[in-house]
Amino acid sequence: MLTSPADDALDGRKGKPMEHVHLGRSGLVVSRLCLGTLNFGPRTSEPESHAMMDLAHENGVNFFDTADTYGGDGARGRTEEIIGDWFTQGVGRRDRTVLATKVYGSMGGWPNEERLSALHIKRACDASLRRLRTDRIELYQLHRVDRRTPWEEIWEALSDLRAQGKILYIGTSDHAGWHLVKAQERASRLGLLGLVSEQPPYSLAERTAELEVLPACQDYEIGVLPRSPLYHGLLSGVLRRTGGVRSRGEHARRALAVMHDRVEAYESFCAELGEAPAAVGLAWLLHQPAVTAPIIGPRTGDQFLSALRARDVRLDTAALARLDAIFPGPGGAAPGAYAW
């Protein structure tokens, strides 16, 4: 565990200090929980968003994740603007923050305003810098796989941005294991550092990443930043709290219909542990050796503080086995999980 002055920050519930670790094989140090900002703008007002980022720093969370497309329908880029405005309102905020954003999604209706061509990457980076009101992005992430653009072109564009000091490290999101291998091998041939992080969908209830993505990340020393760590809210205590899933998404309702018995068993076990389901779900990820920092996406400050409880939850071998029994994974890494 690494220490820093921020490690002394404690939340109002006097939890343990925030742990900080290296992101993959890089020298970059990040908190073991990452503040996701998808709700900033559409569901969380600008003043509430600013207060939550203040709360994050007060509790040692120095790692913020966003994307150029975040902001809601018709307001793409708004989330980056909210973060940029926050940076300008307090001395030291920017320097204390490890900022991650993404490129890929459509930012307009014209050709070359989406995907990973060299043209779009460079234009999108400059636009993100303007909205974020900063001169650099610590972690620039490829939001999706672009099967139309060769890795040589992608790496050349990213290398140019890195040489200009506009981006410092490069990561991916939603890439398959073989995409990560292909990216790293191309980078190695070009003499580049390559990827330092991958952001897969990964949670106790969705463990497909364990087949190939996590093994690839561990082999190449790529940090894993799980998105949807509570599986669209199913691991947040939905049955105990509301008797079902909020109307937020059809995907969540369908998933609950399939997993209702498992979610019920999970919430019962969390009650036995005396812990909130959300804290247990995040703590389970923190117990996985490949994971660097789950990305939490709170809508309110209270939800953020609740997520911090995961730092204090210790799951012994018996508890981990019980959780595996409730939400069994794919059986290990590929191909052993299905071929032998």
pLDDT per residue over 173-203, tens digit each?
999 999 999 999 999 999 999 999 999 999 9
pLDDT band at 340 (very low <50, low <70, confident <90, very high): confident
Position 241 scores a pLDDT of 74
Position 244 scores a pLDDT of 55
Q: Tell me what the pLDDT averaged over the chain comes to.
A: 94
pLDDT band at 87 (very low <50, low <70, confident <90, very high): very high
The yes-or-no verdict on residue 122 having pLDDT over 80 is yes
Position 5 scores a pLDDT of 40
More confident residue, 13 or 88: 88
Report whether 96 contacts 54 (CB < 8 A). Answer: no
Report whether 132 contacts 99 (CB < 8 A). Answer: yes
Q: What whole-number percentage of the chain has pLDDT above 90?
A: 91
Judged by phi (left if over 0) then psi (alpha if -120 to 50, else beta), residue 288 lies in beta
Distance in angstroms (rounded) separating the CA atoms of residues 78 and 66: 11
Report whether 24 contacts 222 (CB < 8 A). Answer: yes
Question: What are the structural domains of the chain?
Answer: 5-339 (3.20.20.100)
HEC letters along the chain: CECCHHHHCCCCCCCCCCCEEECCCCCCEEECCEEECCCECCCECHHHHHHHHHHHHHCCCCEEECCCCCCCCCCCCHHHHHHHHHHHCCCCCCCCCEEEEEECCCCCCCCCCCCCCHHHHHHHHHHHHHHHCCCCEEEEEECCCCCCCCHHHHHHHHHHHHHCCCEEEEEEECCCHHHHHHHHHHHHHCCCCCEEEEECECECCECHHHCCHHHHHHHHCCEECCECCCCCCCCCCHHHHHCCCCCCCHHHHHHHHHHHHHHHHHHHHHHHHCCCHHHHHHHHHHCCCCECCCEECCCCHHHHHHHHHHHHCCCCHHHHHHHHHHCCCCCCCCCHHHHC
What mean pLDDT is predicted for residues 221-244? 90
Amino acid present at 179: H
pLDDT band at 17 (very low <50, low <70, confident <90, very high): very high
Comparing 4-13, 291-300, 302-311, the range with the smallest average pLDDT is: 4-13
pLDDT band at 9 (very low <50, low <70, confident <90, very high): very low
User: What's the pLDDT tens digit per position in 282-293?
Assistant: 999 999 999 999
pLDDT band at 246 (very low <50, low <70, confident <90, very high): low
Position 257 scores a pLDDT of 93
What mean pLDDT is predicted for residues 292-315? 97
Nearest to 171 by CA among 65, 297, 92: 65
pLDDT band at 157 (very low <50, low <70, confident <90, very high): very high
Q: What whole-number percentage of the chain has pLDDT above 70?
A: 94
Report whether 68 contacts 114 (CB < 8 A). Answer: no
Position 260 scores a pLDDT of 96
**Which two structure tokens, joined as six digits, stand for 150?**
């060769």
The yes-or-no verdict on residue 247 having pLDDT over 60 is no
Report whether 104 contacts 143 (CB < 8 A). Answer: yes
Q: How many CB atoms lie within 10 A of CB 8?
A: 10
The yes-or-no verdict on residue 12 having pLDDT over 50 is no
pLDDT band at 245 (very low <50, low <70, confident <90, very high): low
- Angle among Cα 298, 300, 302 to the nearest 5 degrees reads 100
The yes-or-no verdict on residue 3 having pLDDT over 60 is no
Q: Which residues are catalytic?
A: 70
Cβ-in-10-Å burial (0-12, 13-18, 19+) of 110 comes to: exposed
pLDDT band at 7 (very low <50, low <70, confident <90, very high): very low
Please state whether the peptide bond connecting residue 294 to the residue before it is cis, i.e. omega within 30 degrees of 0: no
Specify which residues 63 forms β-bridges with.
Answer: 98
Amino acid present at 9: A
The yes-or-no verdict on residue 10 having pLDDT over 90 is no
Distance in angstroms (rounded) separating the CA atoms of residues 148 and 117: 9
pLDDT band at 60 (very low <50, low <70, confident <90, very high): very high
First to last CA, the chain: 37
The yes-or-no verdict on residue 332 having pLDDT over 90 is yes
User: What's the pLDDT tens digit per position in 99-108?
Assistant: 999 999 999 9
The yes-or-no verdict on residue 339 having pLDDT over 70 is yes
